């Protein structure tokens, strides 16, 4: 029996831990993320993560544009950050993103991935 270790947050390690991901399309990978998010945020194996149920639960968000969905995600994170006293105001955010908004979308996605891995990857035992 091998010793369990935390996930390693490097590109090679992350890709090696989900080898079938290389065979999936971008849309299929998004579906995997939705399914796993449902399972992790729900009640595990007993959670109904069918497309019908998930879409029914999210139907009021379907009319939103991609930009509005990003706004909504930022709003959720903003409200949490305020509650946890990490951020005081929207003005503070405007000041602190001064350099970040100059980065490319790919660079921003890379930063989000690294932050997500650092936050949640330590909870994963291989």
Q: What is the pLDDT of residues 10-32, one digit of tens each?
A: 999 889 988 899 999 999 999 99
* Res. 2: pLDDT tops 80: no
In the chain the first and final C-alpha atoms are separated, in Å, by 12
The confidence score (pLDDT) of residue 126 equals 47
The 10s digit of each residue's pLDDT in 84-99 is 999 999 899 989 998 8
Give the mean pLDDT of 100-106: 93
The 10s digit of each residue's pLDDT in 52-72 is 999 999 999 999 999 999 999
DSSP 19: G
Confidence of residue 34 (pLDDT cuts 50, 70, 90): very high
* Surface-to-core class of residue 23, CB atoms within 10 Å of its CB (0-12 exposed, 13-18 middle, 19+ buried): exposed
Element (H, E) at 97: none
The confidence score (pLDDT) of residue 44 equals 67
């Amino acid at each position: 029996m091998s010793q369990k270790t935390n996930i390693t947050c490097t590109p090679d390690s992350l890709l090696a831990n989900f080898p079938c991901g290389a065979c999936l399309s971008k849309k299929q990978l998004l579906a995997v993320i939705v399914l796993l998010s449902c399972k992790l945020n729900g009640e595990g194996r007993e959670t109904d993560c069918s497309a019908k149920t998930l879409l029914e639960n999210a139907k009021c968000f379907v009319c939103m544009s991609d930009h509005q969905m990003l706004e909504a995600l930022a709003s959720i994170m903003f409200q949490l950050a305020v509650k946890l006293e990490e951020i005081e105001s929207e003005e503070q955010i405007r000041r602190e993103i001064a350099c970040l908004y100059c980065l490319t979308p790919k660079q921003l996605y890379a930063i989000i991935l690294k932050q997500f891995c650092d936050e949640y990857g330590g909870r994963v035992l291989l």
